[in-house]
Structure 1
Amino acid sequence: MNVRQVLPKDAIPSIETPTFGTTYIGDDEDDVIVVDAAPPKAYPVRILDYHEIVNDVLGVGDEAVPIAVTWCPLCGSAVVYDRRVDGEPLEFGVSGKLADDDLVMYDRETDSEWKQSLGTCIDGRHEGRQLTVRPSAVMTWQSFRDRHPDGVVLQPIENARSEAASDDDTPASVDYDDQPYAGYFDSDGFGLAAHRTRDDTRSWDRSDLEPKTVVLGLESDGEAVGFPLPWVADADGVVRETVAGTDVVVFATDGGIHAFENPGYEFEPTAGGQFRAGSTTWDGTTGEAVDGRQLPRLPARRLFAFTWQDDHGPDAFFG
């Protein structure tokens, strides 16, 4: 694992006191990271590009669950973690380091460092410890709004400053209308060198997948399986598989990819991201049936193929 300091610590500021509302500043096709809560919450990538980590809490009182909503733009990796270790909540910030081009987080309680895509502590008091992945989904703002009319969305940070808004390592004033990684996402290259348009870009030696193919990664009991979005789309939008003894179903809908525990149904695609099984129709984005039944969403990592391969090797893909 190649770990290097790229930016000053906290040059990209995490969010510690998030606020939510019903009005969104961006576009209908913007991606948001969605967490099931009461009400459901959306964390826009447009905002996370400038902050990368949101320290939030789901629920109140004894039922409260502290979470970290994390996003690495270079790796396209959206992962939500339970941020408790040994029952105590940690608060995460952006270390300014990269590990294999992936965000390295640090916790402010012990200054331990954590690889974002894995949720593993790579240095410090908690070295070797693993954060627990929470169920989440990536979908467009329009999909979230249509499916969760009672949902709320993360609001911009007033007077925010971030290195992502700057041409150098010094934080600058944030304009959330700008998308600092748009050129990177449109380019063929991947990793920090590609983002900074340098010549020392990384190589990719496989032809079945592009390095920035979107993958949904499932891990359980030491088994890791990545489901590339185009492969699932080519299979009529639905794949059934068993991961560490758990039957799963993976749907490709509306440009997104979603995984649920499968009670044993044979799903057949219909139209508009809907699938027929068990005498009813299911929404592949939410896992909800017309008759009110709900498939349990699985804890998953959404990320680029090159990062999944960095973490788990070239054979850790479905099929």
Structure 2
Amino acid sequence: MNVRRVLPRDAIPSVDDPRFSETYGGSGDDEVISVGFADPPRAYPVRYLQFHEIVNDVVDDATDSSGGDATGGDATGGDPIAVTWCPLCGSGIVYDRTNADRTLEFGVSGKLADDDLVMYDRETGSEWKQSTGECIAGAFEGESLSVRPAAMLSVREFRDSYPDGVVLAPPGGESEAASDDDDPAPVDYDASPYEEYASSEGFGLAAHRGAAGQRKWEGPVNLDPKTVVVGVESDGDAVGFPVPWVRAAGGVRTTVGERDVVAFATKGGVHAYADPGHEFEVTDTGVAADGTTWDPATGTAADGRRLDRLPARRLYAFTWLDDHGPDAFYRPDSLE
């Protein structure tokens, strides 16, 4: 693993006191990290995350009876979570901030590990690789954060699925991501500092900066390094589901470790759920199963039922390859 410092610590500021709104000023096509288990459900726009990378939040969990204030991140009850985003790796992952009975608050270290965001916790200064959740240096070295279920949706999909949901309000402030050098500058959320990188062929920091020494793709020859992958891990097993391969298969039913998984591809990515045993058929209007139609992006059925979304990592293929190697990708039979 190649760990290097590229920015001063906290030059990209985490959001530590998030506020939420019932309205959103951006486009309905904007992507958000959706936390559907929160009460109310919460959406964190990538438009904001690209300037902040980490949101330290506390949510009420709709699946339990724990307390908490669902209007902001300064609650004294509920579940502490970290909503994390690495623009270089396209990795959106939500973690439990509780580790070894301590609640951690995360910041942006200014370091990269294999081109991935390195977070640090403010309690011990330990450093954590964002795409794996593993502590790579410090008091918790070798330990890993627990992944929470989350999805990458458009604002429109989030609204349709969660009419009572709330959206992160613009945090404001300054960020190095808004600057042409290493000094933070006032954030303009209408800007898109990674747009050119996301559409380019290269990957990693050198590609983003247009510098020499850009990385070469050493993964599957018929997969682009910035293909969106959703990674599911269970019982020591890890499988990454690339969007085009899941789409070509018309959806996937498989087992990861001892967990039965069903995965569907949409325009925006792949969504992985616990397999309920239905016979699913992908159609032009969604997914048909058990006498109703299901939305593959949200797991919601026309009759009100909802599939159980799995804890998963959304990221680019090159980062999944860095973390798990070339054999950890799902491949359709046509590619075997």
TM-score normalised according to structure 1 size: 0.97
1:174 counterpart = 2:187: yes
Which residue pairs with 2:304 in the alignment?
A: 292
Matches within 5 A, 1:294-309: 294-309=306-321
| Whole-angstrom CA distance in 2 between matches of 1:280 and 1:199 | 53
How far the C-alpha of 1:201 sits from its partner, in A, is 0.5
| Whole-angstrom CA distance in 1 between matches of 2:178 and 2:301 | 42
Which residue of 88, 94, 116 corresponds with 2:130? 116
SS at match of 1:282: strand
Q: Deviations over 1:247-292 (max 9, x none)?
A: 11001123221110012112001223x2111222212112122222
Gaps of 5+ in 1: none
1:219 counterpart = 2:233: yes
Gaps of 5+ in 2: 61-66, 69-75, 332-336
How far the C-alpha of 1:26 sits from its partner, in A, is 1.9
Which residue pairs with 2:72 in the alignment?
A: none
SS at match of 1:50: helix
Q: 2:152, 2:268 within 8 Å by CA — same for their partners in 1?
A: no
One-letter amino acid matched to 2:227:
T
- Quick one: percent identity of the two aligned structures? 64
One-letter amino acid matched to 1:230:
P
Which residue pairs with 1:204 in the alignment?
A: 217
Q: 2:229, 2:269 within 8 Å by CA — same for their partners in 1?
A: no
Q: How many residues align?
A: 316
Q: 2:11, 2:175 within 8 Å by CA — same for their partners in 1?
A: yes
| Whole-angstrom CA distance in 2 between matches of 1:264 and 1:246 | 12
| Whole-angstrom CA distance in 2 between matches of 1:162 and 1:91 | 19
| Whole-angstrom CA distance in 1 between matches of 2:195 and 2:305 | 38
SS at match of 2:47: helix
Which residue pairs with 2:15 in the alignment?
A: 15
1:255 counterpart = 2:268: yes
One-letter amino acid matched to 1:129:
E
SS at match of 1:132: coil
TM-score normalised according to structure 2 size: 0.92
Which residue pairs with 1:90 in the alignment?
A: 104
| Whole-angstrom CA distance in 2 between matches of 1:46 and 1:293 | 31
Which residue pairs with 1:41 in the alignment?
A: 42
Which residue pairs with 1:318 in the alignment?
A: 330
SS at match of 2:308: coil
| Whole-angstrom CA distance in 2 between matches of 1:315 and 1:254 | 25
Which residue of 179, 183, 193 corresponds with 2:206? 193
Q: Deviations over 1:205-230 (max 9, x none)?
A: 34211000000000011100000011
| Whole-angstrom CA distance in 1 between matches of 2:230 and 2:112 | 21
1:30 counterpart = 2:30: yes
| Whole-angstrom CA distance in 1 between matches of 2:308 and 2:267 | 20
In angstroms, what is the RMSD of aligned CA positions? 1.2
| Whole-angstrom CA distance in 2 between matches of 1:207 and 1:226 | 16
1:276 counterpart = 2:288: yes
One-letter amino acid matched to 2:98:
R
| Whole-angstrom CA distance in 2 between matches of 1:17 and 1:8 | 22
